[in-house]
Amino acid sequence: MGRPLSYAEAVRMLGESESRLINLLDWLAGLGLAGGGLDVLGAREEAVRLGHALTRDLGDRLRGLNRLTRTERLRAAHTVIVLAAYFEELADAVPEARLHRLNAGEQLSLSGDHDGGTGRRAVAQALTRVELPTPGPSHTQESIRRELLAYYGRLGGSLLEFVSGVPQWARIGEDVQADTVRELSHLMPGRALDRYEEMLRRLAVDCPEFGIWIEHWERRSARTELMGGMATLERLLASMTGRVGAQPTALSRAYQASLHRPITAGGDVPSGLTIPTLEQGYIDHRLRATVMEATARPSQDSWWTDLPVYAEPSRFFAACLTSPEAVSAPLLVLGQPGSGKSVLTRVLAARLPADDFLPILVELRQAPVESDLQTRIEDAVRQTTGERTSWPRLVEAAAGALPVVILDGFDELLQATGVTQTDFLMKVTAFQEREADQGRPVAVIVTSRTAVVDRARIPHGSVVARLEPFDDEQIRAWLANWRDLNESALRRRGLRPLPDEVALAHRELAEQPLLLLMLALYDADGNALHHRSASFDRTSLYERLLREFAGRQIRKLAPDLDDTAYERAVEEELLRLSIVGFAMFNRRAQWVSDIDLDADLLALLDPERARPGNTGLQAPLSAAQIVVGRFFFVHETQVTRDGQVLHTYEFLHATFGEFLIARLVANILIGMAVQAATAAYSPLAAQINDDLLHALLSFAGLTARSPVIGFLDDLLAQLEPGTRNELTELLLELHRRSLHDRPGSAYDQYRPRPLSVPARHAAWSMNLVVLAVLVAGEIRGYELFPGSDDTAYAWRAQATLWRSQLHGEEWAGFFQFIALHRDWDGGKRSIRIGRVDENFQPAPSDIYWIYNIPPGHAMRDGIISYTAHEPSSIRLKSNMICGGTDDVLVHALEPLAAAFPTIANLAVPGERATSCTHALLAALVAGFRDEPCSKVFTDLARVVRELSVLPAEEEHDLYLKAALETIISALDRSLAARQDLAPIGGGLHLDDAHDPRVRHLGDRLNELLRS
């Protein structure tokens, strides 16, 4: 189906073998058939006749055909109406009498022996090559319209070249010539496009596929149902062909049986509760979709924002699977962990009608990564049915049904194998191409987690869809179904089902299907969720959720524990889960392999604590597998490579890991504060041990994840004031030693990723500052750097280290969280740091603070100039450092720096010192801002006054020219008033040493000030 379909092929495919136009096109194509005498008039009439004859009652003629044949015929019908639309419009646009006049002596013959020039060849080529895409998800309406307009433009241009080249053209008169040129060149393409769209809509009445494709274009399919396991898809596809009688295959029986099994393995479900079946519990997703192009960024959530939302996935998938392009490139379906990608694949496999489709669900985790795609398919068939068969034999037995290979879990290949599978989707496309060449066209659907898809090469032209989070209506529908199944059981226990408004209050979890189930299960144990909903903040929710599920596992494995042992066991379980969170965080990833997690657990915990107790399983499991295997809010992926099963783990929602990170840090800090308080009263107390905290917080900045900061804020806010004071002092003391050498510790084997010594010092010291601000609210510079003569300089040195060593998101997160205020303290410049709030804005730059000139200092009475900050020096430093921020500023100021190389940063005194550059730039843009600008011109007047009394120099005069012209222009435009120029209110006195132009401008300004 991917090969271009010629007009002649399309006509024959629809059953018309005897046509003068087709014979002519065969002859023009060099097939050696008799061309016959056919002119433009005859071609027009024949194309219109065929367009009507071949599409009349098309739906009836296609009924009963298999999916592959039907799709080919629909494609042919589309090709026919493309040409018919043009010639129908040509009949209306160019009068037949005019064509008869041009055709005198059969001059418009397309097959005559006389010379027709290049025009005849161009017309012939346009008629034989109608190679246009068929409507469908692979092509936007805009792209189809664009290509049709271009084709109709080429066809009109060819016709015009042809008719204007015959002798009769000169005899029809200039007015008629002009009308013909206007019609064929300018009006016909748009009119033909309108006629095409009209014919396409008529076809949609007979052929539902065209209707679905048009709906997809116009994004007007409305949501008709939410429940029922996408039964609409099955009804829609079955109604298209009307094929009856095909017996369900072993594959279809297996997939349909899954509709009656639980939608998910619910883990430890409270007694008496029922997990919905796949058919009962599947809620139709909303989705966004587009065609893959070079500029696409499907791994970025922000990239999807402006794309349309499709409310009814049944019609979307029907449009995709009935499109001719379905067999040319894979359909890629993306979603977050827990969004329901795998559930969707089970529903699709069960709902595709066996009469027309042969679904084959392949779980990529089950097959060795070395296997090729055909082997994976054949293995999946054997695992599903118990039958061993070859791929060609399987397709042959399908008797015309379209094979739909559904590859679930592409992200698992990427995560577990690194870069070795980045070209997997290209191999899928190559497989489709090979199969089409062999007469076995196949559609392929691939699912993947959104965040990792940027590591794969996606074939150009592939349709890419993303499952959207549940909206309110979907959440309510899911909860209504949950109530229908479980309300009686809950009432018998004196409980109520989870109310809609309570679930909606925790939207970040409820919008993902699997996490919504987790909320419902949690609430089903004593109505724990909605009893506390009125005062339930997010941090409390996560604490209770995790403790509840951890406790449930402990009770199941060790039911006889007393309360103290039980609480200790729960804390141990949450400690191990927190290390899972840090394993991902410190590797700057959203997942971790079992090998890496095993290493982390053993490095941070002793062997007994790293490996939990009895699992009830005979097969030996690693510590990582035991820890994460107990919780269904941890998503496991696996693939087999070289006979070894590779596992990776990921939280279904990133905030689980972020909460656990914050929880462990807060617990360690509280323990250290208690230890510090004890040490204050006991000379025998051991030195406070920060080794575990250092191990965890010296590989990544906490500010890389803003939810971690939010959770820490909530947890630390619960501390008593005395504890907060103890903890603040402790953190400040740790910060003072943070850049010093550390002795070895019990955690030296903890190495989540290779990192340089400066980078670890940077992460550790920055995290301590962040924690100190979270605990204390505000920290002053002398507390961070006791004994420093210039705390601002000390801060700059440390901040520069952070900027040089930290990852971009860590550094950006830091200055989005920390608010730095520039102060004076005891005659010295100083800093204080707090938290950014909605009102924080850095204060305007203060030259006195920058150069550490405190109030009352004698230097405030004179001109300030430091040669180290002259533009040439700044440029040398910027060039050496190669810093983006510095380079951007240097680039912006280069013109001024070149004009005023020694005085650009010269500053004049006043209540607020002002540099020459700042004053001139502010005045130049003052007229384009809405803010009052009187102070701007006062500053510039101060600079002019100071420069006017200095010895005349060429650079000074150049600046004075620019400044004086700016001031005079401002006065003329009423931007500045005379009172704004008080520093020079008495007039300028420029001696003869100044440039004549400067003296002239000075005189002009003096006149304006006196007038």
Give residue 838's pLDDT: 83
Whether the predicted pLDDT of 521 surpasses 80: yes
Give residue 309's pLDDT: 87
Whether the predicted pLDDT of 41 surpasses 80: no
Give the pairing of strands 402-408 and 592-593: unpaired
What band does 618 get if pLDDT is binned at 50, 70 and 90?
A: very low
Give residue 805's pLDDT: 95
Residue % of the chain over a pLDDT of 90:
35
**How deeply is 959 buried, as exposed, middle or buried, from its count of CB atoms within 10 A (0-12, 13-18, 19+)?**
buried
Give residue 115's pLDDT: 46
Give the integer Cα–Cα distance in Å for 738 and 25: 83
Give residue 112's pLDDT: 45
- The structure tokens listed for 2 are 């991917």
- Quickly tell me which residue has 């060849």 as its tokens: 121
Give the integer Cα–Cα distance in Å for 598 and 157: 70
List the domain boundaries for the chain.
7-218, 231-265+273-468, 537-638, 656-843, 860-865+903-1010
Tens-place pLDDT, residues 358-403: 999 999 887 777 789 999 999 999 999 998 999 999 999 888 889 9
Tens-place pLDDT, residues 56-80: 777 777 777 878 888 888 888 888 8
Residue 384: name the closest of 405, 364, 402, 360 by CA. 360
- Helix 141-163 vs helix 67-93: angle between axes, to the nearest 10 degrees? 50
CATH 3.40.50.300 applies to domain 231-265+273-468: yes
What band does 578 get if pLDDT is binned at 50, 70 and 90?
A: very high
Q: Which of 409-413, 707-711, 984-988 has the highest mean pLDDT?
A: 707-711
**How deeply is 666 buried, as exposed, middle or buried, from its count of CB atoms within 10 A (0-12, 13-18, 19+)?**
buried
Give residue 128's pLDDT: 64
Whether the predicted pLDDT of 767 surpasses 90: yes
Residue 937: name the closest of 962, 908, 904, 966 by CA. 966
Give residue 544's pLDDT: 85
Give residue 247's pLDDT: 56
Give the integer Cα–Cα distance in Å for 389 and 9: 35
Evaluate the CA torsion angle 461, 467, 472, 477 in order and state its sign: positive
- Helix 373-385 vs helix 250-257: angle between axes, to the nearest 10 degrees? 70
DSSP 828-876: EEEEEEEE--TT--PPPP-HHHHTT--TT-GGGGS-B--GGGSHHHHHH
Give residue 534's pLDDT: 47
CB atoms within 10 A of CB 73: 20
Q: Which residues contact 810 (CB under 8 A, 6 or more apart)?
A: 700, 701, 703, 704, 763, 766
Give residue 352's pLDDT: 93
What band does 701 get if pLDDT is binned at 50, 70 and 90?
A: very high
Give residue 608's pLDDT: 58
Give residue 883's pLDDT: 80
Phi, psi values for residue 46, rounded to 5°: -70, -40
Task: Identify the H or E element spanning 126.
Answer: helix 117-128
What band does 790 get if pLDDT is binned at 50, 70 and 90?
A: very high
What band does 220 get if pLDDT is binned at 50, 70 and 90?
A: very low
Tens-place pLDDT, residues 229-252: 577 888 888 877 655 544 567 898
Residue % of the chain over a pLDDT of 70:
84
Q: What is the mean pLDDT of the chain?
A: 83
Whole-number Cα distances in Å, 222 to 210, 284, 310, 517, 556: 17, 12, 8, 27, 46
Q: Which of 75-89, 103-117, 297-311, 582-596 has the highest mean pLDDT?
A: 582-596
Give the integer Cα–Cα distance in Å for 789 and 782: 9
What band does 442 get if pLDDT is binned at 50, 70 and 90?
A: very high
Whether the predicted pLDDT of 891 surpasses 50: yes
What band does 818 get if pLDDT is binned at 50, 70 and 90?
A: very high
Whether the predicted pLDDT of 24 surpasses 60: no
Give residue 820's pLDDT: 95
Give residue 418's pLDDT: 54
Give me the half-sphere count of Cα atoms (radius 13 Å) on the Cβ side of residue 684: 0
Phi, psi values for residue 643, rounded to 5°: 80, -5
Give residue 265's pLDDT: 67
Give the amino acid at 783. E
More confident residue, 960 or 151: 960
Residue 180: name the closest of 102, 88, 82, 112 by CA. 102
8 A C-beta contact, residue 448 and residue 457: no
Q: Which residues pair with 640 in a beta bridge?
A: 368, 645
Give the pairing of strands 443-449 and 402-408: parallel
- pTM of the entire structure? 0.71
Give residue 273's pLDDT: 86
Residue 406: name the closest of 343, 457, 324, 469 by CA. 343
Whether the predicted pLDDT of 739 surpasses 80: yes
Which ranges constitute the DSSP H helices of 512-635? 513-523, 538-557, 563-585, 594-604, 607-610, 623-629
What band does 155 get if pLDDT is binned at 50, 70 and 90?
A: confident
Phi, psi values for residue 701, rounded to 5°: -80, 135
More confident residue, 216 or 210: 210
Phi, psi values for residue 828, rounded to 5°: -130, 150
8 A C-beta contact, residue 736 and residue 728: no
